[in-house]
Structure 1
Amino acid sequence: MSEQLIGAKSEVLFHFSIKLSDGSAADSTKVHNKPAKLFMGDGSLTENFEKCLLGLKAGDEKSFELEPEDAFGQPNPDNIYYVDRSKFGAETPAQVGSIIAFTQPDGTDLPGLIREVAGDSVTVDFNHPLAGQKVTFEVEILEVNN
């Protein structure tokens, strides 16, 4: 049986770690031993990220660096909102550095990072926390299905 290589439509089960330019780990599936599942070409990852995975097979490990545009994008000023402090309560105080889930009109939660608290105005950033950062991905391919 020939080994299956990751192609344009593969289903891939893999572990990954994301490291920041200072070497600190931002995220890793190994912490909870819950590998990620990816369907190549479904749009959940950038084209350049997927290109880094093409041709890998189960058992392969690879590390690659991605520019912000290929990872989590650049911060979008439209994703920064000013929220009235009265919307925060004792359970979710407005504290700089806190990440709070805000419920969207469709019922899904969107995490926002509190950047600033000035008087009654709270600045909430809904950009991905890693937006604008160069990151290193380390992947370990567990399974490939074509």
Structure 2
Amino acid sequence: MTKAITANSEVVMHFTIKLSDGSAADSTKVNNKPAKFRMGDGSLTVNFEKCLLGLTEGESKSFELEPEDAFGQPNPDNIYYVERSKFGADAPAEVGAIIAFTQPDGNELPGIVREVTGESVTVDFNHPLAGQALTFDVDVISID
């Protein structure tokens, strides 16, 4: 009997997340290291997990996800203005730089420098793929 993915399955799979232009944003195939996770453990968003339910071992499938079903729309509340003096040689305030900021709870949150104006640096903490329609390709290897 072929196993299918349920809400409690442990899954080993390859996945590729592609942008609308067809370029790969992320893929486990690059290093040939499949992802291993348990459904519901927070590794994937709820909507990515919904795509997987019912898939079986050996099955390959492709899903088109609108931004709301992938990483959401960019939230203007996730854009901050940081003083340039807070940046150093190890984390320069350069447009396009991705810098990890330590939050009050000790966790690190990556932000992308969007703009540098005088002493003000605009940092975007939205997910880099927010606002983008994505294709989610999966190859299910095993299910426990």
**Is TM (by shorter chain) over 0.5?**
yes
Q: Tell me the equivalent position of 1:15.
A: 14
Q: Distance in 2 between matches of 1:105 and 1:33?
A: 36
Point out where structure 2 has 5 or more consecutive residues left out of the alignment.
none
The C-alpha deviation readout for 1:69-124, integer Å capped at 9, x for no partner, is 11111111111110000011122110001101111222221110000000100000
**1:135: Cα distance to partner?**
0.3
Give, as a single letter, the amino acid of the residue that structure 2 aligns with 1:95. E
When structure 1 is superposed on structure 2, of 124-133 and 40-49 the one drifting more is: 40-49
Q: Tell me the equivalent position of 2:25.
A: 26
Does the residue aligned with 1:7 lie in a helix, a strand or coil? coil
Q: Tell me the equivalent position of 1:94.
A: 93
Point out where structure 1 has 5 or more consecutive residues left out of the alignment.
none
Give, as a single letter, the amino acid of the residue that structure 2 aligns with 1:101. A
Q: Tell me the equivalent position of 1:111.
A: 110
When structure 1 is superposed on structure 2, of 42-51 and 104-113 the one drifting more is: 42-51
When structure 1 is superposed on structure 2, of 36-45 and 75-84 the one drifting more is: 36-45
TM-score (norm 1): 0.91
Cα-Cα RMSD = 1.4
Q: Distance in 2 between matches of 1:44 and 1:75?
A: 20
Q: Distance in 2 between matches of 1:92 and 1:133?
A: 27
Does the residue aligned with 1:5 lie in a helix, a strand or coil? coil
Q: Distance in 1 between matches of 2:36 and 2:78?
A: 28
Q: Tell me the equivalent position of 1:125.
A: 124
Q: Tell me the equivalent position of 1:38.
A: 37
When structure 1 is superposed on structure 2, of 25-34 and 42-51 the one drifting more is: 42-51
Q: Distance in 2 between matches of 1:13 and 1:75?
A: 30
**1:27: Cα distance to partner?**
0.6
The C-alpha deviation readout for 1:5-30, integer Å capped at 9, x for no partner, is 11122111111101000111101011
**1:58: Cα distance to partner?**
1.6
Does the residue aligned with 2:96 lie in a helix, a strand or coil? coil
Percent same amino acid among aligned pairs?
74
